[in-house]
């Protein structure tokens, strides 16, 4: 994944040589959908039923517990089809990992005299007197408001981590398993991402689940409508800023979440500078 020319040549035993060849092949497979609304529409419209069923239908049913026809088109649109040979998952010009890993990065960010960390403490158990004048809340927005309009649905994952006594488990960092009969959706082997060289290898299986920590908002019109009701409440609160996947019920990637946080910081820094009359010192 994503489907590219190599996929087509391998799956159908073809010899498509150029982008134009692959585009023509895909155009012949495509089954135009008049009004593209769902995650099924967007894929079938682009690549037809066979590729859709092979790569998207089972994976999506497992991942979301819903058929692609029940999910907003934005979900499968995250993985567009290619006609070239590029087999990277993301096309961003700059792709990187924190040098010493995410754990170290967050430890360093939190290691600041102005930051107190209270783990295992539920925000909702805090007394009003313990709250700062301004809260940045990144938990589930429906929980913040006591689920008063009913719960927003979230999807979770269970991870099965294994350390294997072998140098390498698979050829690439991530292998997806679209077959509905296989209970997990993908296996990640980290050393491909980190570049670590070691005699053993660490892998993780992902099992989608309705229970567990909320990881994914579920993009569908009725969920968005429910979120909008919570968002209206949030907009009335100038003592709280809601951020992140759970706070704004958006299926954000890491880079988008960081972008949202930085943009919010800039706005906040300007507001504070105006309030205190100080010159803006917003650092980039
Ligand atoms: N998807 C799929 N087959 C795949 C990969 C993705 O059907 O092999 C669909 C599936 O619905 C998935 C969505 O595309 O939830 C977005 O995929 P992505 O890899 O971006 O999901 P994430 O990494 O956020 O779990």
Radius of gyration of the chain (CA): 22
Residue whose tokens read 């005299």 = 113
Tens-place pLDDT, residues 149-186: 999 999 999 999 999 999 999 999 999 999 999 999 99
- Is the Cβ atom of 253 under 6 angstroms away from ligand 1? no
205-214 pLDDT, tens digit per residue, is 999 999 999 9
Report the nearest atom of ligand 1 relative to the CA of 57.
Answer: 7
Classified as helix, coil or strand, 241 is strand
Instruction: Answer whether 66 contacts ligand 1 (Cβ < 6 A).
Output: no
Domains by residue range for the chain, with CATH: 5-77 (no CATH), 102-148+220-283 (3.40.50.720), 154-209 (no CATH)
With contact defined as beta carbons under 8 Å apart, do 55 and 178 qualify? yes
Distances (CA, A) of 79 to 58, 68, 177: 15, 13, 15
Q: Does 257 contact ligand 1 (Cβ within 6 A)?
A: no
Q: Does the Cβ of 63 fall within 6 Å of ligand 1?
A: yes
Instruction: Report whether residue 54 contacts ligand 1, using a CB cutoff of 6 Å.
Output: no
- Using CA positions, which residue lies closest to atom 23 of ligand 1? 253
- pLDDT one digit per residue (tens) for the chain, 284 residues: 999 999 999 999 999 999 999 999 999 999 999 999 999 999 999 999 999 999 999 999 999 999 999 999 999 999 989 999 999 998 999 888 888 888 999 999 999 998 988 888 888 888 888 888 899 999 999 999 999 999 999 999 999 999 999 999 999 999 999 999 999 999 999 999 988 999 999 999 999 999 999 999 999 999 999 999 999 999 999 999 999 999 999 999 989 999 999 999 999 999 888 776 655 454 44
- CA-closest residue to ligand 1 atom 14: 76
């Amino acid at each position: 994944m994503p489907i590219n020319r190599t996929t087509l040549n391998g799956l159908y035993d073809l010899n498509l040589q150029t982008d134009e060849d692959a585009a023509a092949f895909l155009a012949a497979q495509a089954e135009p959908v008049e009004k593209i609304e769902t995650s099924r529409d967007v894929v079938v419209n682009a690549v037809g039923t066979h590729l859709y069923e092979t790569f998207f239908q089972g994976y999506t049913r497992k991942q979301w517990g819903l058929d692609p026809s029940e999910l907003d088109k934005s979900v499968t649109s995250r993985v567009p089809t290619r006609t070239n040979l590029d087999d990277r998952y993301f096309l961003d010009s700059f792709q990187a990992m924190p040098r010493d890993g995410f754990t170290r990065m967050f430890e360093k960010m939190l290691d600041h005299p102005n930051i107190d960390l209270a783990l295992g403490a539920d925000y909702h158990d805090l007394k009003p007197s313990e709250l700062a004048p301004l809260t940045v809340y990144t938990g589930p927005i429906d929980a913040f408001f006591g689920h008063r309009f009913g719960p927003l649905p979230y999807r979770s994952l269970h991870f099965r981590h294994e350390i294997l006594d072998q140098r390498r488990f698979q050829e690439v960092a991530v292998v997806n398993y679209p077959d509905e009969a296989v209970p997990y959706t993908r296996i990640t082997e980290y050393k491909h991402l980190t570049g670590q060289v070691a005699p053993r290898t660490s892998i993780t299986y992902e099992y989608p689940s309705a229970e567990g920590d909320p990881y994914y908002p579920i993009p569908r019109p009725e969920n968005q409508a429910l979120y909008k009701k919570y968002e209206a409440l949030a907009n009335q609160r100038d003592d709280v800023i809601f951020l992140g996947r759970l706070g704004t019920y958006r299926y954000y990637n890491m880079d988008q979440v960081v972008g949202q946080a930085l943009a919010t910081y800039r706005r906040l820094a300007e507001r504070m500078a105006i309030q205190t009359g100080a010159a803006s010192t917003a650092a980039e």
